[in-house]
Amino acid sequence: MELRTIRPRIADVAREAGVSKTAVSFAFNSPDRLAPETALRIREIAEQLGYTPHPVARMLTQRQTLTIGVLTPQALSVIFSNPFFGAFSEGVAGAAEESGYALHFISPLHGSLAGAMSRATVDGVVAIGLSDDHPEVEQIRRAGVPIVLVDSTALPEHGSVEIDDVGGARAAAEHLIGLGHRNVLVIGVEPPAPETAIDPDGVTSRRLRGYRQAFAAAGMRIPDDSVVVGPASIDGGIAALNRAWEDGMRPTAVLAMSDAMAIGAMRALRDMRLTVPGDVSVVGFDDIDLAPHVDPPLTTVHQPIRRKGEEAVRLLLSVVQRRDLVSPEHRRLETRLIVRGSTGPAPLEAHREVAGANG
């Protein structure tokens, strides 16, 4: 006959310690509500008996799930196809695990992000790439759930993490201008849903502003018809470059708002038997792990992707764990241009065309 080990219960600890079950619960969940010596004695007796609080019961007592939600505007199959999000998630996961929290990725359920959010039981939310007036952001705000916004318009009452998108984009464009490029194609990130307008204060708008600032300072401009958008993926970059070529554009350089899109553009150019950077230079944005290893290595704007995820979780937990004691923080991380082999001088034909136009 097999004997079953009986798990010690809270009542056993209470009886041995000569206290109530409530006192035992306080010793584990709210020790500040007991005298220090009482809390210590209860925990020592619990250890002798081999008692530990049941995780579910403890969760209900503390009204915490010890879970952080990561809210994304697109399906996970789409999000995780972008290497940027994988690196960002590494940062989020590392900081969460370090503090004893699990992760719950929240993406549209049957096409509805609101439906997915309504079923999520989390202590707080990291929302990436959602504008401040997005319905789900408003839903979270009304529910009083702590939220930190990443790559979004900052809200005074909520924490946020962003990077210097404008400065990074300006540096990328200045690099191409310095190489003699004047005819540039910009590949931007389209909004999550076709009917959604591009956030005027979002990442795409800020990076486009940086590109245009650089060209304006050089006495030039980027025409609206030189800007195409697509999904932030390699396939999105391929499709965007091909669409631009079909529309008759012949740029000497491409400014892509993500490395994945830049790598896709390079692949499309190679399929056209064009060389990078001999015929067309390409600059990305992100500096994902793959960027130095493509052929040629990708010139790009480095941003601290993993640190962005770590900072978002730390800001969120500072609110979750001490909700009444902290004010929301807003952090902006720096970017820097990394020059590699995908950029070079504008082709001589382009120089002659510019000289002829000016003559």
Domain-wise residue ranges, the chain: 10-62, 67-163+305-334, 165-303+338-358
User: In the CATH hierarchy, which top-level class contains the domain 10-62?
Assistant: mainly alpha
Fold of the domain spanning 165-303+338-358: Rossmann fold (3.40.50)
DSSP 167: H
- Could you list the pLDDT tens digit for every one of the 359 residues in the chain? 344 456 788 888 999 999 998 888 888 766 777 888 998 999 899 888 888 765 444 444 445 678 888 888 777 777 787 889 999 999 999 999 988 889 888 876 545 555 555 556 788 889 888 766 666 666 676 667 788 989 887 667 788 999 999 999 999 999 999 999 999 999 998 865 544 445 667 889 999 999 999 999 999 999 999 999 988 899 999 999 999 999 999 999 999 999 999 999 999 999 999 999 999 999 999 999 999 999 999 999 999 999 999 999 999 998 887 765 567 788 999 999 999 999 999 997 654 444 444 43
Whether the CB-CB separation of 179 and 220 falls below 8 Å is answered with no
User: In the CATH hierarchy, which top-level class contains the domain 67-163+305-334?
Assistant: alpha beta
> Is 67-163+305-334 the same fold as 10-62?
no
SS3 content of the chain, % helix, strand, coil (to 5): 45, 15, 40
- Write the DSSP assignment of 298-352 as a string of letters: PEEEE--HHHHHHHHHHHHHHHHHSTTT----EEEE--EEE--TT--PPPHHHHH
CB atoms within 10 A of CB 19: 18
Phi, psi of 144 (to 5 degrees): 75, 15
